[in-house]
């Protein structure tokens, strides 16, 4: 039977974890889809802290002799699942970044082609200033991109 100090400390840590998760959610520092797993872990910790014999019962049902080994094994599985989820997210973000970089490159080529076409047919040599040169301050010329749909 665990000591009263350990039970109180475990309950305080579990409640502090819950408060931290909800505070991060409130400040929009943590997204809801990630908060769910942390709330479940915190609630599980709170249940085990309040009912320590439950851990011994679950470990005997699963076939693990020492309840602490069940905690270590559960922690390993949870860390693996979180790492796998975050690796998946990183892969999706890399793909999205690559796609966006390709789109920016394509749009930059189109803008450069439009600007080159404008400078060939613009008011060069006609005595009128280019709109970008009015007021003596170089301003970017408005760019119109033709609708391709």
Q: What is the pLDDT of residue 119?
A: 85
Phi-psi region of 147 (alpha: psi -120 to 50; beta: other; left: phi over 0): beta
Rounded to whole angstroms, the Cα distance separating 114 from 20 reads 53
Q: What is the pLDDT of residue 34?
A: 86
Q: What is the pLDDT of residue 104?
A: 96
pTM over 0.75: no
Rounded to whole angstroms, the Cα distance separating 135 from 27 reads 46
Q: What is the pLDDT of residue 5?
A: 92
Please determine, for residue 110, whether its predicted confidence score (pLDDT) is greater than 50. yes
What does the pLDDT look like over 42-92, one tens digit per residue? 999 999 999 989 999 999 999 999 999 999 999 999 999 999 999 999 999
Q: What is the pLDDT of residue 59?
A: 95
Section 124-149 average pLDDT: 53
């Amino acid at each position: 039977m665990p000591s009263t100090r350990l039970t109180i400390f475990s309950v305080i840590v579990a409640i502090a974890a819950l408060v931290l998760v909800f505070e991060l959610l409130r400040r929009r520092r943590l997204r809801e889809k990630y908060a769910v797993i942390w709330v479940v872990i915190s609630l599980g910790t709170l249940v085990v802290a309040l009912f320590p014999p439950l851990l011994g019962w679950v470990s005997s049902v699963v076939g693990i002799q020492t309840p602490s080994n069940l905690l270590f094994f559960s922690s390993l599985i949870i860390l693996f699942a979180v790492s796998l989820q975050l690796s998946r997210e990183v892969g999706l973000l890399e793909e999205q970044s690559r796609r966006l970089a390709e789109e920016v490159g394509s749009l930059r080529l189109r803008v450069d082609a439009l600007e080159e076409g404008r400078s060939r047919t613009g008011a060069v040599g006609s005595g009128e200033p280019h709109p970008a040169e009015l007021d003596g301050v170089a301003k970017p010329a408005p760019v119109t991109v033709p609708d391709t749909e």
